[in-house]
Amino acid sequence: MALAFLLAILVGTLLLMLPLASATGQATPWLIAFFTAVSAVCVTGLVVVDTGSHWSFFGEATLMVLIQLGGFGMMTAATLLGLMVNRSLRLRTRLVAQVETHTVGLGDVSSVAKVVLIVTVIAELILTALLTFRLGWHYGMPWPEAAWSGLFHAISSFNNAGFALYADGLMGFASDAWILVPIMCAIVLGGIGFPVLHDMRQRWRDPHHWSLHTKLTLVGTGLLLGLGFFGVLLFEWSNPGTLGPMATGDKVLNAAFASVSARTAGFNAVDIGAMHHETWALHYFLMFIGGGSAGTAGGVKVGTFLILAMLVLAEIKGRNDSEAFGRRISSAAQRQAITVLVLGSSMVVLGTLFILRTTPLPTDEVIFEVISAFGTVGLSTGITAELPPAGQLMLTVLMFVGRVGTITLAATLALGHLRAAYRYPEEHPIVG
C-alpha cells in the first residue's frame, strides 16, 4: 500500500511539473509539484501556491484525480478495478484490501468496496449538482465554470481534502448556508469510515445490532463535533478577526463549519490565522484525533481515542475489563490503540522539533502546521509557503505517514500475532 501511494505521488509530481499544468505555461519547480502531489494523494490540502491561480485546467484536473485516488485508497481502487474485470479476486488482493478497508472477513471485502464506490459516486454527484446550481443561479457564475467549481469542491469535500479554487478558501461563502451545509454533510459522510457505512447499510433497521466499532465511531464523532462547535463559538464569539462582526446565525453556521472542517477536512470559512490561541489549541485536539477508520479522514481516528478513553475509565473504576455498549474491548485492540497514539504523538513531536530547528516561526503556529499535516487536515495559519525547503519536506513526510503509516501499522499489528512457546514470570512495575 505504501508503494502504491508513493507511485501515485511520483506520477502526480511529474504531471504537475509539466508546463501544461501551470497557468503561466512554465514548468513548476519540483518541490512545489512534489509538495502539492503529496498533499493531494494524502487528501490533506496544505499548499505552497494558490490552487486556483497557479494551476491550469489540466493541473486542477490532475489534482482532482489524485484526490479521488487518495480518498478511495489505492487498494480499494485496485479491488474495484479487479471486480470490474473479474468477478472473483485473488486471495492476496483480498488480504491487502481487507487491511486497508478494515473489514473483518475476507467475504466482506467486495461488498465494502462496492459501498465505497456507490456512496462516493452518489454523494459527489449530489453535492456537485447543489454547488453548481447555487454558484450559477445565486452568484451569476458562468455555467461551465460553476459546474467545474462544483465538481472540484464536491470531490475535495467528500474526500476530506480541503483543496479550494479560491485564494481565501471558502471565506467568500461564510454567510451562505446553501454552500457550507452541503459541504459539511459530505465531509462527515466521507470521514465517518466506509466500514461504518457498510454496517449501517446492512442493519439500518436494527441499530441495536450495529458493531461496537460503528457505535463508538458514531458516538465519538457526535461528541467531538459538539465539543468543537461550542468551543469555537465560545472562544471566537467576540473576535473581530473571525466571528465577531457576523450576525448570530452566521456565527452558529461558521462555528459548526469550523468544527466539522477541523476533523481532517481542511476548509476554512474564516481566517485561521486570526483565531485566538485557545481555538488553535482546540484544533490541535480535533485534528490529531481526526475521523473514522478506513474513510477519507486522517488522524489517529475516533475509535482509537474512545478505546483509550474506555481503558482509562475502566482503570479509574478498578475494573479488569474495558467495556462499551455491553461488549468487552479486546486487549489486542487496546494495545493497538496505545501504539497508534504513542507513534502518532512521537511523529508530531519530532516534526515540531525539526521545523523549529530550521525556522524562527512561533512555536504554536508550527505545532498547528505539524498536526494539520500529520492529521491530513490541511488547515494552516498561513506559514506553509514561508517554511524552508527542509520544513516543507518534513510536512510531506508527516502527510504521508498520516495517510499511510497508520494503515501499515494496523496491518503489522493485525497480522503479527505470533504465539511464543513460553511466557516470562509476571511482575508489576510501579505506574504513576
Instruction: Give the integer Cα–Cα distance in Å for 54 and 37.
Output: 14
Average pLDDT over residues 378-400: 94
For residue 67, give every residue at least 6 positions away whose Cβ sits within 8 Å of its Cβ, in sequence order, or none. 40, 41, 43, 155, 156, 159, 161, 163
The arithmetic mean of pLDDT across residues 359-378, rounded, is 94
Between 111 and 258, the more confident residue is 258
Amino acid at 350: L
Mean pLDDT calculated for residue range 382-397: 94
pLDDT the model gives residue 420: 64
d(CA 158, CA 124): 7
Between residues 261 and 105, the one the model is more confident about = 261
Segment 37-46 shows an average pLDDT of 94
Tell me the average pLDDT across 14-43: 95
425 domain-assigned: no
Domain count, the chain: 1
Nearest-angstrom CA–CA distance, 161 and 180: 15
What was the pLDDT predicted at 292?
Answer: 86
Q: Please report whether residue 32 resides in a domain.
A: yes
Question: Which cell goes with 15?
Answer: 504531471
Asked if 124 contacts 154 with a C-beta cutoff of 8 angstroms, the reply is yes
Mean pLDDT of the region 197-221: 87
Q: Torsion-angle region of residue 196: left (phi > 0), alpha (psi -120 to 50) or beta?
A: alpha
Q: Is residue 390 part of a domain?
A: yes
Model confidence at 83: pLDDT above 60: no
- Statement: residue 110 has pLDDT above 80: no
Closest by alpha carbon to 154, among 118, 133, 125? 125
What's the pLDDT at 202? Answer: 80
* H/E segment holding residue 200: helix 194-202
What proportion of the chain, given as a percentage, has pLDDT over 70?
A: 87
Q: Tell me if 161 sits within 8 A of 40, measured CB to CB.
A: yes
Q: Tell me if 408 is assigned to some domain.
A: yes
Expressed as residue numbers, the domain containing 192 is 2-415
CA dist., res. 256 & res. 411, Å (int): 34
119: pLDDT confidence band, cut at 50, 70 and 90? confident
Confidence of residue 369 (pLDDT cuts 50, 70, 90): very high
pLDDT of 87 strictly over 60 = no
pLDDT tens-digit profile of 297-333?
A: 888 999 999 999 999 999 998 888 888 888 899 888 8
Residue 432 lies in a domain: no
pTM of structure: 0.89
The answer to whether residue 304 is domain-embedded is yes
* 223 part of a folded domain: yes
The chain-wide mean pLDDT, for the chain, equals 87
Residue 211 lies in a domain: yes
Per-residue pLDDT tens for 126-181? 999 999 999 999 999 999 999 999 999 999 999 999 899 998 899 999 999 999 99
